[in-house]
Structure 1
């Protein structure tokens, strides 16, 4: 699932992030890149808190629906729009079966060793990076 986010930047301030479909979920960052990365964590954390309270995360609307919503006219002013993936941290690992080219697997293992990670940890961090960036 992906959510539209508004990013605002006022002079002498950090980049602020808000989600029109997830009221109360906000984030910020000193750079645009940091704000976008922090938005992924904020959305995940907000979803976790809602679920802990027995609520559900609202369904995301598409870009056209966000642009057409008259109630968001003021919030859209001066905003950059971006798409933020919902990456849930469930706190539990699941074993899966994945097929990879032998050469790619060797490269993964070498890179994991250099970072002091297991193969699984390396693959998980690489996938998370790809989803977020």
Structure 2
């Protein structure tokens, strides 16, 4: 996966990160995002936390262009970490710009009815439910927990 050149407005930035650790203690570091790190008891938890860490690191919606994997391999510090057992992982960097964009999608009528029912049961709009489901699919975690967190936040 090559990540050089300019992104369009609809393209999501992805950063290569280094994952290292052992059962019960995993860490993720971003060579192109100094100070952005994440930890987790499992690989999945560390990767979820890494997505949040890179999102927090990005400032003012400006996403610096990350280096390609080939460029990173040439970096002596990265090469040393890889030699010590770290592995490359790709982490999506979603910029939270609070600017909703209308999207027209097509799906089976029965699935749409199920989405509407589930959204209503959770106290969410269809859009909020679909956004929550998309985030769960991209970042991992529990959709049920995400819906609960949104409901709590919106209740305050």
Give the TM-score normalised by structure 1.
0.79
| 1:1-133 equivalence runs, <5 A | 1-9=13-21, 14-48=25-59, 51=60, 56-76=62-82, 77-133=84-140
Counterparts of 1:6 and 1:114 in 2: how far apart (Å)? Answer: 40
Higher relative contact order (CA 8 A, sep 6+): 1
Report the TM-score, using the length of structure 2 for normalisation.
Answer: 0.69
| Distance in 1, Cα, partners of 2:43 & 2:123 | 30
Q: How many residues align?
A: 127
Aligned mates of 1:124, 1:85 — CA distance in 2: 16
- The answer to whether the Cα contact below 8 Å between 1:22 and 1:57 also exists between their aligned partners in 2 is no
Quote how far apart the aligned CAs of 1:46 are: 0.5
Instruction: Measure how far apart 1:67 and its partner are.
Output: 2.5
RMSD across aligned C-alpha pairs, in angstroms?
Answer: 2.3
Shift of 1:10: 5.5
Distance 1:130 1:72 in 2: 29
Quote the Cα distance in structure 1 between the aligned partners of 2:40 and 2:31. 18
In 2: Cα distance, 1:89 partner to 1:111 partner: 25
Q: Which runs of 5+ in 2 are unaligned?
A: 1-12, 141-156
